[in-house]
C-alpha cells in the first residue's frame, strides 16, 4: 500500500489530518492530482497549500491566479493560530459550522458569528443597513475583532465594514480571509481589502468566493500551524 507509506513518511500532523487512513489517502491523492494538473503558478511554498486546499474544496482551478495574498498573510495566520485562544469571527454561521471543532479546539480557538442575533437584525432594520454590517459592528464593540482571524465568505458588506473599521477606527485583526461571493460589491469589497498594507489578508479577486473556500483556507492554515509545532 504505497499511499500508506507515503503518508507515514511525509505527514507528521495528527489533529489536522483526516481521521481514517482511507480518508487520508483520498485527500492526499487529491492533492497529488491537483499538483500534477494545476500547471505553472506564482505562489510561494507557504501560499500554495492554501490555494491547493481551496481548489480541492470545489475542483475549480481558477483559484490558481484568483487567490491573492498580502506578503505576511500566511505567517500572520500561522502565528495567530499558534498563539492559542485567537478567535475566529465569521460573517455567517456556515463558516463556523464548516470549521473542524477538534482542530479549532486543539489551538483553543473559539468561533463567533452574530448574523442571526435579534439585536443585530433590529439594528440593521433601524439603520437600513445589512445584518452583516451590524454583526461586524457588534463584534467590534465586544472587542472580538482586534487580533482576530476575520473570516468573510458570504457578505461583501461585512468585508467593507471591516475595511472601514481598519481605516477609521484603528482595527488591527491578525488576518482577514475575505472571500465573499456574488454580483453586488463582492469584487469591489475584496479589491478594497487588497489595497490595505497594514493588515494581512487573503482574498479571491473578482466575483467568485464563498464560505466553503474560507473554511478550506483556514483548514490549510491550521494544518500548517500544526506542522510547525514545537
pLDDT, position 9: 37
Q: How far apart are the first and last CA of the chain?
A: 30
pLDDT, position 120: 98
Interatomic CA distance for residues 204 and 213, integer angstroms: 9
Output the DSSP codes for 151-196. EESS-HHHHHHHHHHHHHH----SEEEE---SSSSHHHHHHHHHT-
Tell me the pLDDT tens digit for each residue of 57-111.
Answer: 999 999 999 999 999 999 999 999 999 999 999 999 999 999 999 999 999 999 9
Which is nearest to 180 in space by CA: 152, 213, 205? 152
pLDDT, position 12: 62
Q: Are 91 and 136 in contact (CB under 8 A)?
A: yes
DSSP state for residue 92 in the 8-state scheme: S
Interatomic CA distance for residues 227 and 145, integer angstroms: 26
Is residue 56 part of the annotated active site? The answer reads yes
Catalytic residue among 56, 70, 113, 219: 56
Average pLDDT over every residue of 39-58? 95
Average pLDDT over every residue of 212-220? 98
Amino acid at each position: 500500500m504505497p499511499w500508506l507509506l507515503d503518508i507515514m513518511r511525509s505527514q507528521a500532523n495528527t489533529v489536522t489530518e483526516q481521521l481514517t487512513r482511507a480518508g487520508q489517502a483520498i485527500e492526499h491523492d487529491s492533492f497529488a492530482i491537483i499538483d500534477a494538473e494545476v500547471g505553472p503558478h506564482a505562489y510561494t511554498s507557504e501560499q500554495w497549500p492554501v490555494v491547493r486546499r481551496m481548489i480541492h474544496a470545489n475542483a475549480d482551478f481558477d483559484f490558481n491566479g484568483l487567490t491573492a495574498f498580502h506578503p505576511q498573510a500566511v505567517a500572520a495566520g500561522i502565528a495567530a493560530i499558534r498563539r492559542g485562544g485567537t478567535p475566529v469571527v465569521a460573517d455567517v454561521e456556515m463558516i463556523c459550522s464548516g470549521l473542524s471543532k477538534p482542530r479549532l479546539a486543539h489551538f483553543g480557538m473559539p468561533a463567533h458569528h452574530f448574523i442571526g442575533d435579534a439585536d443585530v437584525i433590529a439594528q440593521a432594520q433601524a439603520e437600513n443597513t445589512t445584518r452583516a454590517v451590524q454583526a461586524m459592528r457588534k463584534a467590534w464593540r465586544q472587542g472580538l475583532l482586534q487580533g482576530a482571524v476575520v473570516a468573510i465568505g458570504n457578505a461583501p458588506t461585512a468585508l467593507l465594514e471591516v475595511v472601514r473599521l481598519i481605516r477609521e477606527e484603528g482595527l488591527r485583526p491578525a488576518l482577514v480571509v475575505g472571500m465573499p461571493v456574488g454580483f453586488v460589491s463582492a469584487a469591489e469589497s475584496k479589491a478594497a481589502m487588497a489595497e490595505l498594507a497594514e493588515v494581512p489578508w487573503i482574498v479571491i479577486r473578482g466575483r467568485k468566493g464563498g464560505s466553503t473556500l474560507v473554511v478550506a483556507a483556514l483548514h490549510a492554515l491550521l494544518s500548517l500551524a500544526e506542522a510547525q509545532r514545537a
